[in-house]
Structure 1
Amino acid sequence: MNIKTLEDLFIHALSDVYSAEKQITRALPKMARAATDPELVTAFQAHLEQTHGQIERIDKLVEATPNVKIKRMKCLAMEGLVEEGQEIIDEVEKGPVRDAGLIAAAQKVEHYEIATYGTLCALAELLKYSEGKALLAETLKEEKDTDIKLSKLATMKVNIAG
């Protein structure tokens, strides 16, 4: 993609995170099946539902914002993060240590999303996409909340069991 303007950069980042969210919808069910801690399973299932809502928000942003269209692309960063999660599933025996690894992998995903949605919010503000910024800020808050929940689950339960 030829990026020459802030709007081009916004569209590129939005398209990238759209691909990332789609990849996450395929990874989260695998992570939920691989986890043993019931709270972790529930957290992954809840995040899957949340991710579907985040995709819908991106679709809504595109509909509401003239000149913004999603480009077909693959988020290579998310592809790598998903692959790391799959390695944990493949290489670590089912139990508390795998659960700790799955939380770590999920938090890497959350941190990537937090960085991306933070950037998108800043760009949306500069571009005066007020409705888009509000939609992106809602997703950013969800990503931060999920990261906090995963940290609490790790430090108060899963890591202690490992």
Structure 2
Amino acid sequence: MTQLKNLQDLYLEQLKDLYSAETQLVEALPKMEQAATDPKLKDGFRTHLEQTRQHVSRLESVFADLGEQPGGHTCKAMKGLIAEGSEMIEQQAADAVKDAGLIACAQRVEHYEIAGYGTVARYAEVLGKSQHVETLRMTESEEKKTDALLTDLAGTINTSALNA
């Protein structure tokens, strides 16, 4: 475990956490897409996978700018969130009920990412790294849009689950 001496160290540690979270998500999203039955939800997971790959690339550019390597850290929170998603995938449930559960799992992931990107963007502001702020806020905005999309899908899918 690295000693955190200042905000720059904390910033780097939090960026590594997000990088780990995003790379874990790249592995998990295809499984969620496969488990989903609603075509719009499947499409949403597919779209978010492409977006997540862009997020990984953006983080890699931030690390390159810092002269640092992105690896060497495992995001335990994302590991747990993905484990919950895996449990939902394995559940015996009516299609709409499983889809509603997958949305719940995906929204927990989105909320974690929104919090993480908001935090590192603020650190970047304090550290005077305006280019990083722009990059990180762009990703935070995309995570918020994905969360809103999931909320919209949940309206229909939750109603279907009610009547399953």
TM-score range, shorter chain: over 0.9
2-structure distance, mates of 1:9, 1:41? 36
Runs of 4+ in 1 over 4 A off after TM superposition: none
2:28 counterpart of 1:27? yes
| Contact 2:38-2:96 within 8 A present in 1 as well | yes
Letter in 1 for 2:101: G
2-structure distance, mates of 1:37, 1:70? 35
Could you say which residue in structure 2 is the equivalent of 1:160?
A: 159
Deviations 1:73-121 (A, max 9, x none): 1100000000000001112325000000000000000000000000000
Could you say which residue in structure 1 is the equivalent of 2:78?
A: 78
- Match runs of 1:4-153 below 5 Å: 4-66=5-67, 68-93=68-93, 95-153=95-153
TM-score (normalised: structure 1): 0.95
The sequence identity of aligned pairs, in percent, is 45
Specify every segment of 5 or more residues in structure 2 that has no aligned partner in the other structure, as ranges.
Answer: none
Letter in 2 for 1:90: E
2-structure distance, mates of 1:114, 1:122? 12
Q: CA RMSD in A?
A: 1.0
| Contact 2:19-2:71 within 8 A present in 1 as well | no
Deviations 1:14-44 (A, max 9, x none): 0001000000001000000000000000000
Could you say which residue in structure 2 is the equivalent of 1:3?
A: 4
1:65 Cα deviation after fit: 3.0
Letter in 2 for 1:40: L
Paired residues in the alignment total 160
| Contact 1:65-1:132 within 8 A present in 2 as well | no
2-structure distance, mates of 1:116, 1:44? 20
2-structure distance, mates of 1:28, 1:52? 11
TM-score (normalised: structure 2): 0.94
| Contact 2:17-2:75 within 8 A present in 1 as well | yes
Specify every segment of 5 or more residues in structure 1 that has no aligned partner in the other structure, as ranges.
Answer: none
